[in-house]
Structure 1
Amino acid sequence: MKKQHIMIIAIIIVIGIVAGGLVLGNSSTERNPDELVTAVGTHGGEPETGFNPILGWASASEPLIQSTLFKRNNNMSLVNDLATNHTVSSDGKTYTVNIRDGVKFHDNSSLTAKDIVFTYNEAKKVGGDIDLSNMLNATAVNDSTVEFYLNNSDSTFISKLSTLGIVPSESYNNETYGQNPIGSGPYKFVQWDKGQQVILELNDDYYGKKPEFKKLTILFLAGDAAFAAAKKGEVDIAEVPLSYSNEKIDNMSSIILDSIDARGISLPYLPDTGNKTEDGVSIGNNVTSNKAIREALNYGINRQTIIDGPLQGHGNKSFDGIGYQLPWNNNEAIIEDGDVDKAKSILESDGWKDSDSDGILEKDGQKASFTVYYPADDTTRQSIAISVSEQAKKFGIEVNVEGKSWDEIDKLKLSNGVVWGYGSLDPSSLYHQYYGGFAGNEYDNPAYYNSSIVNQHMESALSSSNIESSYNDWSMVSWDGSNGISPKGDAVWIWTVFVDYPYFVDNSLDISENTTKIQPHGGDIFGNIYDWKRLS
């Protein structure tokens, strides 16, 4: 056979092998058993400022790279991590925390109280995602003891000691740390390909229970892209939109995780009297400020319709935004919803009538019409808003629905309805959501709600001797038998549903569903990664 013929045949064979490899690549991707590849960024996404806890990285989830003073177990109880024990002063203003000896950062430097003090004081100065405004300062008593001094007693402050990853004080640089983070957590940072992925490797010197997986790659894929990667076998875990939750993927199982992540629509509590913030943002709405409108919406909307429709059957009803799994949940806030006749009766009793037969009620020349905005890139919130709008028509309220960017919504949120996501394991988040003194402060209390009775419940909760004893007061924020933010009270928001979190998980992987943590707003799939195992 001539040489050129041999060369042509060889080339054809090589092309065939490459093409075959590409075809196979569409169905599976080989990786070592101790390597994990995930696409779980549907909610949190790629951190804009990098993997810097001081600027907000993993403030509601397992930071992986850094350690925290405390963690939450699957029962949502706080347990020690870097901390070994803690005490609180009788006036509730001083928290003393003892920490482990012998903990090393990934660069082999020692982690001491000095690093914890630096992290918390720096986070307060920078003003990241964690609210430390009540913390006066943190001080190192010695290498293994930290004292946190507060301006006012705060029974929930220990929750904030579970949310901030500790950074090394000696090498920390606010400008560069996020791109090359050093921590003391179970995984070391290896590589960040912006817009694509982050690669982590196991920290062999980790002081706690080590995960089984030596390499963890997190792909920054959301929505359709995450589902496509799962279908190609390119990932072990994919977080997908609810619209894909009932699909089938070969060699993968669909797992739906419970959450406290609620979707609610804020309803401006004040009328529009022309008042504006210092930034020129209008305050108030002449329709939603009417209590009968807010009550009718809360009683008339059928939340199960939203679950069965936009959520594909995966979710639970919400009446006050407080997860039913939480110890400050208040079952007395539950109502019989979907009652169109009751909604009509509430409105009729308040003087709302359809005098021009256009299907929209009026009172004193004011149409029962207002607008609800949602982030334009969030199809679930869009679907919820549309469902509320369609249902409200049945009892004469016109809810216009419009998608906007967050920058645009920021200028509209105090005078219009907005579909928000919320779900925190820290009860003090209610303080920011409803306390009168926080009204209109950035994203706090967008409804501009102010009730002296509800304010008092929150103040009493914060002044409790410990977080457990505060739960009863927090529950009364929702409903105390006479007052509250729930539909039986001031009906400040239309809380609609808790959204479940759908994942596709490779059949060779056990993510230990019996130790999976309740998913907060933003998710925490890695919260129990210490218990994950490869089955084959």
Structure 2
Amino acid sequence: MRLARRLATLSAVFGLLTAACSAPTTGTPAPGDAFVIGLSSEFDTLNPVMGYSPDGGSLIYEGLMSREPDLSMKPALAATAPVTSADGKTVTFTLREGVKFHDGRPVTAADVEYTYEALLEEANNSPIRGDYTAIEEVAAPDAKTVVFTLKHPYAPLVQRTTLGVVPKGSPLTGDPPPGAGPYRFVSRTPGDKIVLEGNRGYWAGAPAITRLVLAFAEDDNVRAARMSAGEFDATILPPKAAARFDGQPDITVHRVPSADYRGIMFPLKQPVTGDRTIRRALSLAIDRGAMVDTILAGAGRPAFGPVSPDTAWHNPEVTGPAAGDPEAARKLLQDAGWKAGDDGIRVKDGRRAEFSLMYPAGDTLRKELALAVASDARKVGVDVRLAGLDWDAIEPRMSEDALIMGWGSPYDPDYVNYELFHSAYAGKGFFNPGGYANPKVDELLETGRASGDEAVRRQVYRDFQKIVHDDEVWTYLVFLKHVYVIRGNPAGVRPGVDAHEHATGGLFRDIHTWRPAS
């Protein structure tokens, strides 16, 4: 699930951008033309304090640090890498000279201090506040120095400083405040698009693409059709929907590795989905290899846990049979007292092995995964009833019905996992919606967050992965490759390893550096 998830349905399918963009381009547009990106999700907010693109890639805002495609950190608003004290509890940044917000005001340490203090202020109710609770205080002793004082050593702190900085005193509602990123905000039409304009005074150089339109189209097929019609210059599509663009002249398709997974989130207080035997049997029954080959058209890999095998934090013990083991699933159910009824569906103590599995109706990939799950489940005697709904209908049902859900991060394992599996977040929206509570997992997550010892942290997160795998909190299905379709073949496109949140992150995080192909 995204923090920047879909909020509104498009009012029409075609022709929404005729006033915003010129005729279809054949590559990176000339100055003055709009480059139109088709996105599947609208943003909850455009304010970093309230959760907009905290991991970089917002395009409007600049953080103290930014990420390279290989996930290494580099200074952005900071002039150099920060200095950390010997006890790990004080981290000091020195700001770059001459950087200005879009309205011409200089970026100062007071702005950084305000941004983080506003985020940490409990009354502001920022949805990402929990990611920054290790911070005791942020101080600005002078205009160019920012000092973070931590409650305890917090290894991911530098990675967290990709958060965009806003001017001191900026309101948290209404139009977004000015940033210092490569694009400035021009306008927003809810349910339709956001228009951005290149920042000619950007400290790292003005973008070659001088006008950017972020157009929202939740339905995968609609985005594919609009890309074909020339209304989009770039979009993100499920692998099968993107296949039509392979080999087309003047179209480039990038399949980018990611830590982005899809899996089944189970409500753990319900009688059927709360039975670990049911969950474990379902995991054994599923043919993940077939999902990768058919639904993902090869653009992905089987998933068995929340940490990607493409990252150094992965525990290799967290694995399973890619093709599934339905015989083992049947035996597991039979031994636990789930006996096959006349219709083949298993029953225990008068209760049928059945539950509802929701998915967002406009997401064709999740729909196909749900269909495959239901098919494999029926073969072992579990009846999975599918429900394609919009997010407004899904959210209030997550404590009762299972959901094809997505998360995943290639960054520090504290990211996402703390909120998804710590009992303190049980039932808080899209964080831990199934209500998982395991004191040992809580202890591990707290130790991993507080420790400054890399060896300790590596063992902590290996143990954490093993427990949530054995508890079968989720049934993980696949890690995706994100498929980007781009008109032309601009220079400067730098694939890396994507996170789940990839709206203007991912491949688009560097769009301000793209240039027409020579």
Specify if TM > 0.5: yes
Q: 1:245 aligns to what SS in structure 2? A: helix
- Does the 8 A contact of 1:34 with 1:213 survive in 2? yes
Q: 1:140 to 1:31 in 2, by over 3 A?
A: closer
Aligned partner of 1:477 in structure 2 is: 464
Aligned partner of 1:217 in structure 2 is: 213
Q: 1:435 to 1:47 in 2, by over 3 A?
A: closer
Q: 1:416 to 1:245 in 2, by over 3 A?
A: same
How far, CA to CA, are the matches of 1:182 and 1:158 in structure 2? 23
- Does the 8 A contact of 1:39 with 1:221 survive in 2? no
Q: 2:112 aligns to what SS in structure 1? A: helix
- Does the 8 A contact of 1:35 with 1:215 survive in 2? yes
Aligned partner of 1:114 in structure 2 is: 110
2:487 is the counterpart of 1:506: yes
| Offset at residue 426 of structure 1 (A) | 4.1
Structure 2 unaligned spans of 5+: 1-21
2:456 is the counterpart of 1:456: no
Aligned partner of 2:368 in structure 1 is: 383
How far, CA to CA, are the matches of 1:189 and 1:116 in structure 2? 20
- Does the 8 A contact of 2:29 with 2:209 survive in 1? no
Q: What pairs up with 1:33-182 in 2 under 5 angstroms?
A: 33-34=30-31, 37-43=34-40, 45-49=41-45, 51-83=46-78, 84-89=80-85, 92-125=88-121, 126-131=124-129, 132-162=132-162, 164-169=163-168, 172-178=170-176, 181-182=177-178
| Offset at residue 210 of structure 1 (A) | 4.8
Q: What pairs up with 1:312-323 in 2 under 5 angstroms?
A: 312-323=297-308
Aligned partner of 1:420 in structure 2 is: 405
How far, CA to CA, are the matches of 2:420 and 2:277 in structure 1? 22
Q: What pairs up with 1:319-358 in 2 under 5 angstroms?
A: 319-337=304-322, 338-354=324-340, 356-358=341-343
| Offset at residue 408 of structure 1 (A) | 3.3
How far, CA to CA, are the matches of 1:139 and 1:329 in structure 2? 36
How far, CA to CA, are the matches of 2:222 and 2:456 in structure 1? 45
Structure 1 unaligned spans of 5+: 1-24, 270-283
Deviations 1:160-189 (A, max 9, x none): 211x2111115x2333342xx411112233
| Offset at residue 82 of structure 1 (A) | 1.4
When the two structures are superposed, what TM-score results if normalisation uses the length of structure 2? 0.85
Q: 1:97 to 1:197 in 2, by over 3 A?
A: same
The residue type equivalent to 2:254 in the other structure is I
Aligned partner of 1:244 in structure 2 is: 241
Identity of aligned residues (%): 29
Deviates most, 217-226 or 290-299: 217-226
Q: 2:511 aligns to what SS in structure 1? A: helix
Q: 1:185 to 1:127 in 2, by over 3 A?
A: same
Structure with bigger gyration radius: 1
Aligned partner of 2:11 in structure 1 is: none
Aligned partner of 2:282 in structure 1 is: 297
When the two structures are superposed, what TM-score results if normalisation uses the length of structure 1? 0.82
Aligned partner of 1:255 in structure 2 is: 254
Aligned partner of 2:497 in structure 1 is: 518
Aligned partner of 2:228 in structure 1 is: 231
Q: 1:286 aligns to what SS in structure 2? A: coil
The residue type equivalent to 1:175 in the other structure is T
- Count the aligned residue pairs: 483
The residue type equivalent to 2:148 in the other structure is F
